Amino acid sequence: MAESQARQTLTITRRFAAPRERVWTAWTRPELLVRWLGPHDWPAVSFEADLRPNGRWHAVLRSKSGEELEQGGRYLEIDPPHCLRFTFQWESDNHEDGPGVQTEVSVELIEDGPSTTLMKFEQRGLVNDESARGHEGGWQQTFDRLTAWIESEVIG
């Protein structure tokens, strides 16, 4: 049972070549999130956020063929530039998890040198192993896009 429970929690650790404040800004400004959120084949085309406890966020991802997936949730904890916690659920019927399955995401940012940030990402409450694998693939690609964005963009 413990092994099955562990599979329903996804943990990803990434190191970014950027100060913690820059990574925090990338996670918390909608006009920046829309530039890197989503897997390679499903990039975000819109992102809206009310960045306050219990504030709502909503994103739309679009495939190359034009199919859309909507996701959203509420912010639970905002502790700049250390920790961001929010609920996550698919709001589209065409995702394998289906609407109404709510998970909880935490993003912890740790200074790891003068210009390096360690991100500890965790998503809890995934419905099964297949869902956890799917989310892991999507988040890994998303964080690849975040890495590329951080390396190429200047935040104003």
- Which pTM value belongs to this model? 0.90
Q: Across-strand partners of 12?
A: 121
pLDDT in tens, the chain (156 residues): 334 444 389 999 999 999 999 999 999 999 999 999 999 999 999 999 999 999 999 999 999 999 999 999 999 999 999 999 999 998 867 566 666 689 999 999 999 988 999 999 999 999 888 888 999 999 999 999 999 999 887 554
**Domains in the chain, please, with CATH?**
7-152 (3.30.530.20)
